[in-house]
Amino acid sequence: MSEHTLHFKPAEGFRARSKAVVDNPFLRQSFRGAMDFLMSKRAAQFPDAGELASLRTLGESIRQYNLAKLPTLLEQLEANLTRNGIQVHWAETPEEANAIILGICQRIGTELMVKGKSMVSEEIELNHAAEAAGVAALESDMGEYIVQLADEKPSHIIMPAIHKTKEEIARLFADKVEGVDYTDNVDALIQIGRNVLRQKFLEADIGLSGVNFAVAETGTLCLVENEGNGRMCTTAPPVHIAITGIEKIVEKLEHIPPLLSLLTRSATGQNISTYFNMISSPRKPGEKDGPAEVHLVLLDNGRSQAYADEQLRKTLQCIRCGACMNHCPVYTRIGGHAYGTTYPGPIGKIISPHMLGLDATSSMATASSLCGACGEVCPVKIPIPELLMRLREEAFTAPHANPSMLGQGAGYSWLMTSVWKGWAAVYRSPALYAVATWLGSRFAWLMPAKQGAWTSVRVPLKPAPKRLRDMLKDRG
Ligand code: SF4
């Protein structure tokens, strides 16, 4: 397992960032409103609980079936894509993925790449790497374009700029887009974005996109989107580069309709997205449009680590709908930026440790009330609370010589482990428990008033002056 040198560091300041949002009533209110809206849209899409239950079971089975065959399917996908004329590249780390993409930029001598929405490109921090190599990577999804103008990361995997009000966006456009006056008319703002981007689609030599599903039997890349910018990125520039994680694969085309239905209904509360693109080859002789070259970059970045463990493999079932985030009581209060990771919320808590290591992300798994809402809404039935418990265990058990997870045991403390072991021994023995509670009630006055982090938000722990068993004895 390798350590990465990403620009964006997640762990430091998680508490401070969360507190800053919780202390900001305006931000909390706007986030709450946005999440309530998304939750009600999803609920309206699933009026029949029976249909939802059977569709979720089908979605889970399809994802598990394909993950079980993943190594074979990856080989089949590569063979069929290659036969179709699509060039396949394998990247183990973000650095390798960036090197592949920037190598293509260098070969064709481009200085401009337009990007459709791709969380994997966020994961590898492609924009930073491209900028360092002298290539401008321009986001063309409206939400991504807004956060790029603001020099921020997306705060939600489906709605990148959901933390911004229309007034903030209006100010941003007026400040950063040349020749634009302040307007908070939403239609006018969208038109401004369109005007800027349309010209760039024509100027760019490379269009980069994500992939929602890669079909092994046909060698087809499927892209779900609403704005049409994905179609522009994948057809207008002469070179199209798609990037995706190795888990986004299905064996058959017939696996897609149930997953697509679950994805759009869970994500944005839409029956179906406005666009569904299927890319199976570069432009063929006689065809009038389409790119001359198509590449697919398949990224591992810790996914093999999750895959190797039967329980943690369930993380890879994710279809990136974002429903777990919209329903999470923690995410809806602190928003996406507090996490500091590319993927925030419940999905971020279970996938980020594989990408960044438990040492950088151990606080994420503990920032959960384990209410179970995420697991209940997940369209492919990922048992998120169960996986959070497992990650907590991995972070706080003594590190092994051959750890199965990057950063395993990062939160381990000899003192804390000894205290809990002692506590468990006392609880297992009635005699020891009687002695311990007797001592506790006699020497309660010795308990300090300040008890570290505990008393920063709670009253001090103090044993009762009389034990329960003594009170019961007194009552006869
Ligand atoms: S974990 Fe489930 S609910 Fe969350 S983004 Fe993935 S598929 Fe959607």
**Ligand 1 centroid distance, CA of 410 (Å):** 26
Residue 250 parent element (H or E): strand 249-250
Which structure tokens are listed for 22? 């919780």
CB of 120 within 6 A of ligand 1: the answer is: no
CB of 324 within 6 A of ligand 1: the answer is: yes
Q: Give the model's pLDDT for residue 31.
A: 85
Which structure tokens are listed for 19? 């507190």
Q: Give the model's pLDDT for residue 465.
A: 87
Q: Give the model's pLDDT for residue 282.
A: 98
- In our burial notation (b when 16+ CB lie closer than 10 A, e otherwise), range 436-474 reads bbeebeeeeeeeeeeeeeeeeeeeeeebeeebeeeeeee
Q: Give the model's pLDDT for residue 9.
A: 56
CB of 378 within 6 A of ligand 1: the answer is: yes
Q: Which atom of ligand 1 has the smallest separation from the CA of 384?
A: 1
Which residues are CB-contacts of 10 (< 8 A; sequence separation ≥ 6)? Answer: 339, 340, 341, 352, 356, 360, 361, 364
Protein residue with least CA distance to atom 7, ligand 1: 318
Protein residue with least CA distance to atom 8, ligand 1: 321
Protein residue with least CA distance to atom 6, ligand 1: 318
Compute CA distances 337 → 60, 102, 170, 431, 448, whole Å: 29, 27, 21, 50, 37
**42: Cα within 13 Å, side-chain hemisphere:** 23
Q: Give the model's pLDDT for residue 7.
A: 53
Q: Give the model's pLDDT for residue 402.
A: 75
Q: Give the model's pLDDT for residue 216.
A: 98
The pick from 35, 39, 319, 349 for probing ligand 1's pocket by mutation, whose C-beta has the most ligand atoms within 8 angstroms, reads 319
DSSP state of 402: S
Compute CA distances 12 → 4, 5, 223, 369, 460, whole Å: 16, 15, 34, 21, 27
**Ligand 1 centroid distance, CA of 123 (Å):** 17
**Ligand 1 centroid distance, CA of 323 (Å):** 6
Protein residue with least CA distance to atom 4, ligand 1: 324
Which residues are CB-contacts of 195 (< 8 A; sequence separation ≥ 6)? Answer: none
Q: Which amino acid is at 362?
A: S
CB of 320 within 6 A of ligand 1: the answer is: yes
**Ligand 1 centroid distance, CA of 212 (Å):** 13
**Ligand 1 centroid distance, CA of 262 (Å):** 10
Tens-digit pLDDT string for the chain (476 aa) = 444 455 555 567 888 899 999 999 888 888 888 999 999 999 999 999 999 999 999 999 999 999 999 999 999 999 999 999 999 999 999 999 999 999 999 999 999 999 999 999 999 999 999 999 999 999 999 999 999 999 999 999 999 999 898 999 999 999 999 999 999 999 999 999 999 998 999 999 999 999 999 999 999 999 999 999 999 999 999 999 999 999 999 999 999 999 999 999 999 999 999 999 999 999 999 998 899 999 999 999 999 999 999 999 999 999 999 999 999 999 999 999 999 999 999 999 999 999 999 988 888 899 999 999 999 999 999 999 999 999 999 998 888 777 888 988 888 888 988 999 999 999 999 999 999 999 999 998 898 988 888 888 889 988 898 899 899 999 98
**Ligand 1 centroid distance, CA of 157 (Å):** 10
Q: Which atom of ligand 1 has the smallest separation from the CA of 374?
A: 3
How many distinct helices (H) and strands (E) make up the chain? Answer: 23, 10
pTM confidence score: 0.90
CB of 323 within 6 A of ligand 1: the answer is: yes
CB of 383 within 6 A of ligand 1: the answer is: no
